[in-house]
Amino acid sequence: MKATTHTEVYRRFDGELRKRPLRSVTLAWSGIRIGFKKKLPMLLLFIIPAIFTIVTGFMVQLKFEAESGTLTNMAGMEPSAQTMAMGAMLSSQLGQVEVLIFQLLTNMQFFVVLIMGWYGSGLIAEDRKLRAHLLYFARPMSRLTYTAGKLLTVMFWGSLAVVAPVTIVCSVASLASPEWSFLTERWDTILKLELYAVLWVFFHGILVLAISSLTDRRNRALGGLFILYFLTLAGSNAMAELMSGQGWRLLSIPNNFQRIFDGLFDQSSPGIGWNLEASLWVLGLLTFASAAILSRQTRKLEVGA
Amino acid sequence: MNSIIQAENLGRWYGEVVGLGDLTVEIEPGITGLVGPNGAGKSTFMKLMVGELRPARGQLAVLGEVPFGNRGLHRQLGFCPQQDALYEHQTGRQFVRDLLRLGGWSRREADALAVRAMERVGLEDAMDRRVNGYSKGMRQRTRLAQAIAHGPRLVIADEPLTGLDPIARRQTLELFRGLAEDGCSVIISSHVLHEVESLTETMVLIHRGRLLAQGSVREVRRLISRHPSRVELVARDPRLLATALLPLEHVRTIKLGTDPGTLTVETDDIAAFHSTFAGVAAAAGAGVSGFKSDDASLEAVFDYLVG
Amino acid sequence: MNLFTALPRATWLIFRMHLATTATSRRALAGILFAAVAPLFAFLAVKVGGGGDMGERVFMFLGVLVLLQVVAPALGVFLGIGAIADETEARTITYPFTRPIPRASVFLGRWLASLLVLTVLLLSSGAAVGMITMGAADPPAVEAVQALVGATLVAGVLYSLGAAVIGIIFKRGQVIALGYAFAFEVMLANIPGSAQKLSLQFYLRSLFVGGDSANWSSLDIFQRTEFLEPAASAERLLVTAVLLLAVGCFTVTRKQFVLSS
């Protein structure tokens, strides 16, 4: 038998390899592109946060208009004392921008969990199911790169649902405020809001990934996320009411984020009276536990289990 | 009407992807091979035949009836799907038995039929083991067992030979022959042409969702006039043989091969060539030592048709 | 065999075929842990946390906040969603659909198998919460425990049925079912106004509190709401269940399940 080779298939590589390839970004981008392919789920998942954002943006606009008197002076006439009072009342009713944004995040938090669950719960679970990790780890890719790639993917979607609305509402506030005063005078509030949003997305992202790494079914991971989220929320609230002990509320992720918000903006929410450090400890421990789970599970994936 | 399958302008789309374009075909009782490359529409056609899908256009009658949701028809049908899916928690015997029970058999009857079917596919030793421990070939045969267990009039098997080792493959082909001898019609799909060819002469060739050809391989070959038949010859003196063959009216071209003593003849009428070749070769005294004419095989026909 | 005799027979066969699998599935095992949470909280509240003198309050809070609002919908969704979706995902649906049985029987049989498991879990959970709190001072009335367990079981029926139907219609139904149960329902049921009447929770709460808003007002974290009489509420829930059943049967009969090879 004559031996033949198919030399034309194996072309010589004449490009230049990157010295520091951003593999995690490549991995994340591939995950994000897959998410963009499914248009209908994207529409269904983002429609409610979009509505909430528009409504909040409108309220912020209304607040600044009421403050500046333009709302009550639409006909071009000088505002009367009565209309000025109305504007002031409306402005005070609408409250501070950061509170409106927090209300926005609270109102849509379940939808955001749903969004991050939808896009994140399959990221590792489906790799395991399809044995795709064998392909990933056959390349020069570390566990950290792999995890970072997946985390960036889920954080991208979370950011669209959390960071983007916060940015939009802050932009509306900046544009609506007289002489861009919200931007120039309260830039620290904007920074804190963005920081809070990123922290929110990072925490939920790592949690979703940790749960995803524990199973090989996307649906199970999604279910696990919801059980953890809602059971701790409802259970801790019920127990806190029953035992008159606010410490129970530390079991709930949303309550801890509310405490962080209160700490950042000097607010005081009813039923949230514990130290800020306690919430930071709880969320820190959960983050550490999630990272430990991810480390262990990706180690298993790396060795082909 | 004797046809078991009648499809007229049959079409089925998956969104924008055409599964089956415009298929008009009639299939007679017996064993029929449904062949075509991957993505040709074989599985879609089969899913339409068993009523798993509804046509997007055209008509389809299986044993004279519309298949989708037709419980009466499903009694007479056995379907061996392509996907490697079974109820993993069950044993092979339970799997076949429970599906038989859905067909109306009592528990005892169903169990007896299940055992018989498992024996028929050569799984009698493994039938009481859970299917999640089966090899790929055993799982394939279990799927086949559930398709034949209730004695259907028509068995439709989607790629039934995939994943089988050569012995199991031979046994499965034997099983299909046995079913046909018992009066059961069989339609099997495959893209491995020689396997189907070893089982039946009757083919339906599908490509890109359309019927490409139908009938026995040789009949189809005869219909393809634009492609001459090719005969490969080995002779002591190929030039002499070429000189003798060239004047024949039906010989179109002769090429001398790169290997010593070989030549390839293309003829427009293979039957006439066969009848005249021996005389011409003997008269020329070219010392013919090899004669090979395999382009009437299904593979070659398929190559011609698909291009 | 006509449809009306074939349907119950095939439903029964499918139910039997899948009952053991459903009961021993990972989902059901996770469900046991999940269902144990409400009794665990009740135990902690009554025996450990000093709530031993307020049995009724513990019962009301855990009954409504945990059992009715979280456990029943979650278990309903997780166990119900798989009725058809599991078969589609496992690509085994071809087998029952190419047998001489009504397609609706596959949906009904599998949903009933899930429902039985779900009922056992919710019944145990509700009864355990009732028993623990009845052992404390100021215990809840037996009628209240019965009403809560009844409402929880009805919740299980409706959420599991809804999830099963969603699982037929949508490829990734679980996220929609979860979104409905925990995003829309939570939003609709807990905002003041008529929007509450668009949620299942409103009718389930009506069934539980029996039209007596005083009962509800003991849950001081919720706003006062005018509930329906239990009979009226049960009527609407029954109509919803029948509609869901009809939609499920119709859809599964007409739908084409495109499976990858």
Put simply, the answer to whether A239 touches C45 (Cβ < 8 Å) is yes
Where a domain ends, among B216, B240, B267? Answer: B216
Q: What is the DSSP letter of A131?
A: T
The whole-number average pLDDT for the span B153-170 is 88
Is there a single domain that holds both residue B150 and residue B25?
A: yes
Spell B88-124 as b/e; 16+ CB within 10 A means b: eebbbbbbbbbbbbbbbbeeeebbebbbebbebbbbe
A5, part of any domain: no
Angle between helices A81-94 and A39-68 (to 10 degrees): 140
A54, part of any domain: no
pLDDT of residue A91: 56
Of B81, B99, B158, the CB nearest to C99: B99
- CA triple B84-B99-B162, angle to 5 deg: 25
The domain total for chain C is 1
pLDDT of residue A13: 65
Q: Beta strands B185-190 and B31-35: pairing type?
A: parallel
Distances A123 to A142, C3, C37 between C-alpha atoms, Å: 16, 44, 29
pLDDT of residue B291: 86
The rounded distance, in Å, linking the Cα atoms of A136 and A126 is 13
> Residues in chain A with pLDDT < 70?
1-13, 68-95, 305
pLDDT of residue C245: 96
Domain assignment of residue A199, given as a range: 23-31+97-302
Where a domain ends, among B166, B199, B216? Answer: B216
Beta bridge partners of C135: none
Put simply, the answer to whether B85 touches C94 (Cβ < 8 Å) is yes
CATH number reported for the structural domain that contains residue B163 in this entry: 3.40.50.300
Chain B residues interacting with chain C (CB cutoff of 8 angstroms):
14, 43, 50-54, 69, 71-72, 74-75, 77, 79, 81-83, 85-89, 98-99, 101-104, 146, 158
The domain total for chain B is 2
The whole-number average pLDDT for the span B63-86 is 92
pLDDT of residue B55: 92
Tell me what percent of the residues of chain C surpass a pLDDT of 70: 92
pLDDT of residue B50: 93
Instruction: State how far residue C66 is from chain A, nearest Cα, in angstroms.
Output: 6
Put simply, the answer to whether B52 touches C96 (Cβ < 8 Å) is no
Domain assignment of residue B31, given as a range: 5-216
* Tokens found for residue A12: 């010589």
Is there a single domain that holds both residue B42 and residue B139?
A: yes
The answer for residues whose C-beta is within 8 angstroms of residue B257's C-beta and 6 or more apart is: B232, B238, B263, B264
Instruction: State how far residue C108 is from chain B, nearest Cα, in angstroms.
Output: 14
A84, part of any domain: no
Closest chain B residue to C87, measured at CA: B87
pLDDT of residue B224: 61
The whole-number average pLDDT for the span B204-228 is 75
Distances A261 to A76, A199, A264, B180 between C-alpha atoms, Å: 40, 11, 5, 76
Instruction: State how far residue A163 is from chain C, nearest Cα, in angstroms.
Output: 20
pLDDT of residue C240: 95
Enumerate the residues of chain A whose CB falls inside 8 A of the CB of residue C66. Answer: 231, 234-235, 238
The rounded distance, in Å, linking the Cα atoms of A113 and A154 is 11
Output phi, psi for A280, to 5 deg: -65, -40
Of A223, A234, A245, the CB nearest to C78: A223
For the cut 90, the answer to whether the pLDDT of residue C123 exceeds it is yes
pLDDT of residue B305: 66
Enumerate the residues of chain A whose CB falls inside 8 A of the CB of residue C30. Answer: 223, 227
pLDDT of residue B223: 64
Domain assignment of residue C112, given as a range: 3-254
What chains are in contact with C, requiring at least 3 Cβ pairs below 8 Å? A, B
The whole-number average pLDDT for the span C53-77 is 86
The rounded distance, in Å, linking the Cα atoms of A301 and B267 is 61
Put simply, the answer to whether B53 touches C102 (Cβ < 8 Å) is no
The rounded distance, in Å, linking the Cα atoms of B238 and B257 is 9
Enumerate the residues of chain A whose CB falls inside 8 A of the CB of residue C41. Answer: 235, 238-239
Beta bridge partners of B7: B25, B60
- Tell which of C61, C178, C185, C220 to mutate to test the A interface (max A CBs under 10 Å): C178
- Tell which of A230, A237, A246, A272 to mutate to test the C interface (max C CBs under 10 Å): A230
Of B14, B79, B85, the CB nearest to C92: B85
For the cut 90, the answer to whether the pLDDT of residue C186 exceeds it is no
The whole-number average pLDDT for the span C217-229 is 70
The rounded distance, in Å, linking the Cα atoms of C241 and B120 is 46
Output the average pLDDT for chain B.
Answer: 87
pLDDT per position as a tens digit, B274-302 = 888 888 888 888 888 888 876 656 666 66
C261, part of any domain: no
Of C65, C174, C175, the CB nearest to A238: C65
pLDDT per position as a tens digit, B176-191 = 999 999 999 999 998 7
pLDDT of residue C221: 61
Is there a single domain that holds both residue B230 and residue B207?
A: no
Pick the closest to residue A71 from A53, A93, A48 (CA basis). Answer: A93
Of C91, C94, C101, the CB nearest to B102: C101
Enumerate the residues of chain C whose CB falls inside 8 A of the CB of residue B104. Answer: 1, 100
- CA triple A223-A227-A231, angle to 5 deg: 165
Q: Is residue B265 within 8 Å of residue B233, measured between CB atoms?
A: yes
Instruction: Choose between A8 and B167: higher pLDDT.
Output: B167
Length in residues, chain C: 261
The whole-number average pLDDT for the span B159-175 is 86
ipTM of the complex: 0.83
Instruction: State how far residue C249 is from chain B, nearest Cα, in angstroms.
Output: 13
Is there a single domain that holds both residue B294 and residue B183?
A: no
pTM exceeds cut of 0.90: no
Of A41, A226, A239, the CB nearest to C178: A226
The whole-number average pLDDT for the span B156-175 is 87
Where a domain ends, among B193, B216, B239? Answer: B216
Instruction: Choose between C221 and A25: higher pLDDT.
Output: A25
Closest chain B residue to C6, measured at CA: B104
